[in-house]
């Protein structure tokens, strides 16, 4: 009888591995994959920034891009002040349509 009990224990281990695999697949498709897609879109957005684009920073500053470099942009605020910022600090592009939605 001892060999039969060992065989049953082995199938329980296989079920555990399958269960963890299924959980990993669910996490991948519902959490990891959408985040990777979002990061890809954000990278594409930051590479497409051009002079004259109106933007909002993650700190809530509104401005217009006057100069674009590799990782840095120079923005001009409404008062005429110029700020040097990292591209990673830009949250989104601002447009008239965004203002009308609010």
Same domain, 65 and 88: yes
Domain count, the chain: 2
Q: If pLDDT is split at 50, 70 and 90, which confidence band does 47 have?
A: confident
60 and 22 in a common domain: no
**2-40 confidence digits (pLDDT tens):** 454 544 555 788 999 999 999 999 999 899 999 999 999
Segments forming the whole domain that contains residue 13: 1-48
Domain check: are 24 and 65 in the same one? no
Buried/exposed code over 30-62 (b: 16+ C-beta within 10 A; e: otherwise): eeeeeeeeeeeeeeeeeeeeeeebebebeeebe
| pTM metric for this prediction | 0.61
User: Is 69 in the same domain as 44?
Assistant: no
- What is the average pLDDT score of the chain? 85
37 and 3 fall within a common domain:
yes
Question: Do 55 and 40 share a domain, yes or no?
Answer: no
């Amino acid at each position: 009888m001892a060999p039969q009990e060992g065989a049953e224990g082995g199938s329980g281990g296989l079920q555990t591995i399958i269960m963890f695999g299924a959980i990993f697949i669910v996490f991948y498709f519902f959490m990891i994959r959408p985040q990777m897609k979002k990061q890809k879109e954000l990278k594409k957005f930051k590479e497409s920034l051009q002079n004259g684009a109106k933007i909002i920073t993650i700190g809530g500053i509104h401005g217009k891009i006057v100069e674009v470099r590799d990782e840095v942009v120079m923005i001009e605020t409404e008062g005429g002040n110029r700020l040097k910022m990292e591209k990673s600090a830009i949250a989104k592009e601002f447009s008239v349509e965004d203002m009308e939605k609010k």
